[in-house]
């Protein structure tokens, strides 16, 4: 009977992380939880993926046949011994297959880990595996970087490994060259500076220190060249950086959205670091952020670096970026996404609320961008107001989905469209007639007490809604109007008084909200976003809806009072 000691250790690591036995940041916990949840769904015929223990064991065993290439372990001629976190990384990345094809599931893999945690060894091992043992005839493996020195950080260890393993060279027909490795079937492993040639067809592309790349050109060229491969993979291995406009930061935001619940089935991410509320001056932060703490990265070195950062403010950001994996100047999400997930109730549907009064709020950003509607219901339970957000709606022009200059955003829109969460209007501009028809239809289902709308939005749409007999109110999205409902939404989420239907597009936008405080004050805030790609339109509409409901209650309007005291919501 086959045994899988490496896979068993990998799965144990995931269980221990989720159970809190191994300190880790929220993103790593979510990655482990995703793996365990999907293992539990394997036998479901509607679940498209399966975990192949033999495939996972094979890659872990292969990597551990590689020799160390520098330092004390190389001097002692020791072979690589993967730590539990590394076993989990390899097992999860390579072990998940598509049931229908038995080909590898994950096309994009991101490992974000601080310096000195063994990145180069992992990348070199993946490169040799992809060249020799990944069942790909004529394999092409590239390690990409912005300069030759960086590219050689991955390729040099791989070259040294191959030199030290004559039996492996003989078995796979591996030939050593000054700047590449080749096999007789045409397979090649070599470093790439900038873009690979148009004729390249990567099987494995390794992007090292992606945070140093100013554009997405290399990543996109690797990606578009993989069309003829059965199970290609782009492996990004990086630390955090300082450029929040970089493609690396965009990729991390996409990974975070996936871990928070946005469907991205062929993306795997393991993002080590610390949480926003961790005290970075404590030794515990070092252990949490550095999975190889005390192994490849020495504890006394990290403690000395930490003390230096405490004593020297000039060095603080460097330390946080390189050793705690925090992006310099990155702002924290306003809402607690772990609590938001706890507020999810997939049994909530609009059918449950038919005939119940609501607020419909519209955030009409621009004709060329996303527009959103949030429908909010509420009820007083035990002296506390409970909020319900059900069936939000999002619109975007056709051109923004299929011809977007920002490829990543266009692909994001396409995923939500496929999931049925995004409505597309014809042409390059939003057709407000579609929004008008939707709001009127929703009003017939769930009567709208009022429809708050930003005056910077569509004036004609406001007039058309008024012509339909609807109560339109203008709400300027400033600190005065947005602060109280934003804090109320935060409190409701944290206390469990908020309930939503799990809409993944709304979840993504809630995760993108950053709090912009008024002149340094901590009691007046409005929602903003880190970058244009991080849409928050649905979150803004939700905050506007809650603000309008709060205002009507405070003003004692009869209609609003009847909702609070006599609503039929039974949750």
CATH class of this structure's domain 337-566? alpha beta
- Is residue 567 scored above 60 in pLDDT? no
For residue 270, the surrounding DSSP H or E stretch is: strand 267-271
Residue 267, pLDDT score:
97
Which residue(s) pair with 236 in the sheet?
Answer: 110, 207
What is the spatial distance between Cα 285 and Cα 36, in angstroms, rounded to a whole number? 25
Q: What is the DSSP string of 468-519?
A: TT--EEE---SHHHHHHHHHHHHHHHHHT-EEE---HHHHHHHHT-EEEEST
Please state, for a pLDDT cut of 70, what percent of the chain lies above it. 95
Whats the size of the chain, residue-wise?
Answer: 571
What is the spatial distance between Cα 539 and Cα 537, in angstroms, rounded to a whole number? 5
Residue 198, pLDDT score:
62
Backbone angles phi, psi at 525, to 5 degrees: -145, 155
Any long-range contacts for 347-354 (C-beta under 8 Å, 24+ apart)? Answer: 348/388, 348/390, 348/499, 348/500, 348/501, 348/571, 349/390, 349/391, 349/501, 350/375, 350/390, 350/391, 350/445, 350/446, 352/390, 352/569, 353/377, 353/388, 353/390, 353/445, 353/446, 353/569, 354/445, 354/446
What is the spatial distance between Cα 14 and Cα 30, in angstroms, rounded to a whole number? 10
Q: What is the DSSP string of 1-55?
A: ----HHHHHHHHHHHHHHTTSS---HHHHHHHHHHHHHHHHTT-TT--EEE-HHH
398-455 per-position pLDDT tens digit: 988 998 888 778 888 898 999 899 999 988 888 899 999 999 999 999 999 999 998 7
CA 12 to chain centre: 24
What is the spatial distance between Cα 152 and Cα 96, in angstroms, rounded to a whole number? 30
Is the fold of 5-323 the same as that of 337-566? no
pTM listed for this prediction:
0.78
What is the spatial distance between Cα 26 and Cα 312, in angstroms, rounded to a whole number? 28
Task: Count Cβ atoms within 10 A of the Cβ of residue 49 and give its class: 0-12 exposed, 13-18 middle, 19 or more buried.
Answer: middle
What is the spatial distance between Cα 289 and Cα 309, in angstroms, rounded to a whole number? 16
**CA nearest 60: which of 110, 10, 1, 111?**
10
Structure tokens at 456: 């910077």
Give domain limits for the chain.
5-323, 337-566
Mean pLDDT of 355-364: 94
165-200 per-position pLDDT tens digit: 999 999 999 999 988 999 989 999 999 887 766 668
65-100 per-position pLDDT tens digit: 999 887 788 788 888 999 999 999 999 999 999 999
Residue 560, pLDDT score:
36
Residue 456, pLDDT score:
72
254-283 per-position pLDDT tens digit: 999 999 988 899 999 999 999 988 999 999
Which residue(s) pair with 388 in the sheet?
Answer: 377, 499
Radius of gyration of the chain measured on its C-alpha atoms: 26
- Is residue 557 scored above 50 in pLDDT? no
Q: In the CATH scheme, what is the homologous superfamily, with its name and number, of domain 5-323?
A: P-loop containing nucleotide triphosphate hydrolases (3.40.50.300)
């Amino acid at each position: 009977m086959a045994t899988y000691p490496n896979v068993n250790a990998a799965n144990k690591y995931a269980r221990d992380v989720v159970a809190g036995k191994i300190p880790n940041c929220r993103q790593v916990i979510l990655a482990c939880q995703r793996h365990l949840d999907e293992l539990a769904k394997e036998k479901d015929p509607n679940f498209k993926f399966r975990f192949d223990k033999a495939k996972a064991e094979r890659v872990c065993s292969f990597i551990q046949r590689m020799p160390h290439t520098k330092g004390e372990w190389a001097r002692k001629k020791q072979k690589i011994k993967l730590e539990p976190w590394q076993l989990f990384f390899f097992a999860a990345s390579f072990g998940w297959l598509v049931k229908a094809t038995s080909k590898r599931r994950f096309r994009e893999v991101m490992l974000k880990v601080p310096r000195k945690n063994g990145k180069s060894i992992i990348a070199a091992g993946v490169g040799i595996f992809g060249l020799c043992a990944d069942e790909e005839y004529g394999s092409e493996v590239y390690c990409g970087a912005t300069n030759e020195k960086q590219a050689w950080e991955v390729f040099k260890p791989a070259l040294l490994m191959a030199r030290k393993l004559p039996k492996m060279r003989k078995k796979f027909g591996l030939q050593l060259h000054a700047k590449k490795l080749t096999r007789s079937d045409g397979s090649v492993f070599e470093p790439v500076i900038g873009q690979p040639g148009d004729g390249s067809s990567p099987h494995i592309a390794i992007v090292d220190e992606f945070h140093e790349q100013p554009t997405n050109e290399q990543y996109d060229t690797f990606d578009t060249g993989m069309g003829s491969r059965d199970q290609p993979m782009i492996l990004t291995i990086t630390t955090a950086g300082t450029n929040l406009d970089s493609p690396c930061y965009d990729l991390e935001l996409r990974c975070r959205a996936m871990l928070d619940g946005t469907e991205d089935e062929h993306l795997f991410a393991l993002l080590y670091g610390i949480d926003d509320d961790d005290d970075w001056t404590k030794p515990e932060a070092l252990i949490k952020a550095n999975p190889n703490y005390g192994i490849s990265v020495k504890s006394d070195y990290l403690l000395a670096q930490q003390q230096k950062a405490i004593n020297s403010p000039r060095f603080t950001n460097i330390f946080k970026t390189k050793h705690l994996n925090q992006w310099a100047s990155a702002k924290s999400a306003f809402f607690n996404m772990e609590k938001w997930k706890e507020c999810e109730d997939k049994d909530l549907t609009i059918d449950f609320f038919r005939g119940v009064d609501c607020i419909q709020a519209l955030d009409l950003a621009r004709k060329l961008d996303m527009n959103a509607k949030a429908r909010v219901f509420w009820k007083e339970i035990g002296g506390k107001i409970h909020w319900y957000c059900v069936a939000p709606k999002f619109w975007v022009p056709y051109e923004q989905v299929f011809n977007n200059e920002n490829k990543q955003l266009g692909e994001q829109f396409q995923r939500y469209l496929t999931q049925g969460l995004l409505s597309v209007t014809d042409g390059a501009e939003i057709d407000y007639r579609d929004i008008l028809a939707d709001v009127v239809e929703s009003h017939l289902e769930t009567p709208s007490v009022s429809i708050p709308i930003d005056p910077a939005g569509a004036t004609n749409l406001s007039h058309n809604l008024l012509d339909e007999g609807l109560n339109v109110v203008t709400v300027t999205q400033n600190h005065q109007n947005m602060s109280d409902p934003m804090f109320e939404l935060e409190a409701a989420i944290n206390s469990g008084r908020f309930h939503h239907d799990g809409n993944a597009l709304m979840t993504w936008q809630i995760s993108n909200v950053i709090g912009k405080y008024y002149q340094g004050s901590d009691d007046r805030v409005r929602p903003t976003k880190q970058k244009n790609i991080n849409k928050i339109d649905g979150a803004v509409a939700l905050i506007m809806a809650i603000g309008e409901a709060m205002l009507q209650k405070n003003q004692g309007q009869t209609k609003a009072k009847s909702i609070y005291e006599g609503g039929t919501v039974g949750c």
